[in-house]
């Protein structure tokens, strides 16, 4: 049918930062963070855990599960908004790290929705280039883009990577369809500057450096509405009812966003995979990390219908349906 996922992998940095630890950095506490976000801990990268290194480690695990060698990989798509460098792409660094000599590689930046956008890119590539094998990776080190003096944002994010190996199969399995959307007019509700320009004519007077800036309440409102709309449209287009979904794997932003979304959709909580309490919001990495954990925990089996959804800066958002 479409891109069939042959293997999943993830990699989380070793260092765990708890809410209690955060209380020593900014004026906050465990009770506030837990009740507003559902997050208890997040992982923070250190030496040897750059964005591309986490991504490569996740990819190795996915290839091991898929029993695919690195020489068999034809394409590497990486979703990230915290690449090691602006140029070359994170995907090229991962290609070098893995020794993927037969692949071409590029990045996708759709903020927290990046993995869904990359999955859709990969799915469409495979439907044309049947017989190829690809790596799709979401990897982030948002700790490097967080303003550690801003308690509104620094409590939310974490680092990590997730990856999948996919190929086209002519059967009922794989990505069924995706519904992806964006609205650039809302860019200023959630954004991150680049480094200040070297060309004085292009300098932005208010560029504070590469920090995430956010209007939290607005983001919350849009996130719930947008994901609900994308899911409903996708399911109605594909003639699938909510009860047929075996497991929903949403972007792990915030437990309150997820609870609201799930209750508006009428999905039972036991059908929703949640790990935001452990890793916080890992942006483009959150869906593939969750997919890998759910897979390794045996939360779904061959033939199950999975629904993934996401929302992020841009704004970007969407949903995908997969037959495992």
Residues labelled as active-site residues: 112, 251, 281
Question: Sign (positive/negative) of CA torsion 248, 218, 286, 102?
Answer: positive
CB of 12 to ligand ACO, least distance (A): 18
Nearest-angstrom CA–CA distance, 227 and 257? 10
What radius of gyration do the chain's Cα atoms show?
Answer: 19
CB of 118 to ligand ACO, least distance (A): 16
Rule CB under 6 A: is residue 216 a binding residue for ligand ACO? yes
Nearest-angstrom CA–CA distance, 320 and 71? 29
Phi, psi of 131 (to 5 degrees): 95, -10
Residue with Cβ nearer ligand ACO (61 or 251): 251
Rule CB under 6 A: is residue 229 a binding residue for ligand ACO? no
Tell which positions 72-101 bind ligand ACO, by CB under 6 A.
Answer: none
From candidates 156, 289, 309, 321, binder to ligand ACO by CB under 6 A: 156
The phi-psi region of residue 77 (left if phi > 0; otherwise alpha if psi is between -120 and 50; otherwise beta) is beta
Under rule CB under 6 A, how many of the chain's residues touch ligand ACO?
24
Residue with Cβ nearer ligand ACO (65 or 108): 108
CB of 251 to ligand ACO, least distance (A): 6
Tell which positions 17-76 bind ligand ACO, by CB under 6 A.
Answer: 28, 32-33, 36-37
Contacting range for ligand ACO; rule: CB under 6 A; set: 95-103, 126-134, 147-155, 293-301: 147-155
Q: Are strands 305-312 and 316-323 parallel, antiparallel or unpaired?
A: antiparallel
Nearest-angstrom CA–CA distance, 156 and 298? 28
Structure tokens at 119: 């999955």
CB of 164 to ligand ACO, least distance (A): 20
**SS3 label, residue 272:** strand
Structure tokens at 256: 């309150």
Rule CB under 6 A: is residue 219 a binding residue for ligand ACO? yes
Site string for ligand ACO, 243-282 (x = CB under 6 A): --------x-xx--x-----------------------x-
From candidates 93, 115, 220, 273, binder to ligand ACO by CB under 6 A: 220
Residue 239 CB-density burial (10 A; 0-12 exposed, 13-18 middle, 19+ buried) = exposed
Nearest-angstrom CA–CA distance, 160 and 117? 18
Residue with Cβ nearer ligand ACO (154 or 234): 154
Rule CB under 6 A: is residue 289 a binding residue for ligand ACO? no
Rule CB under 6 A: is residue 217 a binding residue for ligand ACO? yes
**SS3 label, residue 114:** helix
**Which residue, among 80, 93, 53, has the nearest Cα to 284 in the 3D structure?**
80
From candidates 311, 319, 322, 323, binder to ligand ACO by CB under 6 A: 311
Rule CB under 6 A: is residue 312 a binding residue for ligand ACO? yes
Q: What is the DSSP string of 6-25?
A: EEEEEE--SEEEEHHHHTTT
The phi-psi region of residue 35 (left if phi > 0; otherwise alpha if psi is between -120 and 50; otherwise beta) is alpha
Rule CB under 6 A: is residue 321 a binding residue for ligand ACO? no
Contact set with ligand ACO (CB under 6 A): 28, 32-33, 36-37, 112, 151-152, 155-156, 190, 214, 216-217, 219-220, 223, 251, 253-254, 257, 281, 311-312
């Amino acid at each position: 049918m479409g891109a069939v996922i042959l293997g999943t992998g993830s990699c989380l940095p070793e260092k765990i930062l708890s809410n209690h630890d955060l209380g020593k950095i900014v004026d906050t506490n465990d009770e506030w963070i837990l009740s507003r976000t559902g997050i208890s801990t997040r992982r923070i990268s250190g030496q040897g855990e750059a964005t591309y290194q986490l991504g490569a480690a996740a990819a190795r695990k996915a290839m091991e599960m898929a029993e695919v060698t690195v020489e068999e990989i034809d394409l590497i798509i990486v979703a990230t908004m915290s690449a090691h460098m602006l140029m070359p792409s994170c995907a090229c660094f991962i290609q070098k790290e893995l020794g993927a000599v037969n692949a071409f590689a590029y990045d996708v930046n759709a903020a927290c929705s990046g993995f869904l956008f990359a999955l859709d890119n990969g799915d469409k590539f495979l439907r044309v280039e049947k017989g190829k094998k690809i790596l799709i990776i979401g990897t982030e080190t948002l700790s490097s883009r967080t303003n550690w003096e801003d308690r509104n944002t620094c409590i939310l994010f974490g680092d990590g990577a997730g990856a999948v190996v996919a190929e086209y199969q002519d059967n009922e399995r794989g990505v069924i369809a995706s519904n992806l959307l964006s609205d650039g007019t809302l860019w200023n509700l959630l954004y991150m500057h680049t480094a200040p320009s070297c060309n004085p004519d292009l300098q932005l007077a208010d560029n504070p450096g590469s920090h995430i800036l956010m209007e939290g309440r607005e983001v919350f409102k849009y996130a719930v509405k947008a994901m609900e709309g994308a899911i409903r449209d996708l399911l109605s287009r594909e003639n699938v009812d909510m009860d047929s979904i075996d497991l929903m794997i949403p972007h792990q932003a915030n437990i309150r966003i997820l609870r609201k979304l799930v209750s508006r959709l009428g999905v039972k909580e036991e059908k929703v995979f949640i790990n935001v309490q452990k890793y916080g919001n890992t942006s483009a990495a959150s869906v593939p990390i969750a997919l890998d954990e759910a897979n390794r925990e045996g939360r779904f089996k061959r033939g199950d219908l999975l629904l993934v959804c996401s929302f992020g800066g841009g704004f970007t958002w969407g949903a995908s349906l997969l037959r495992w």
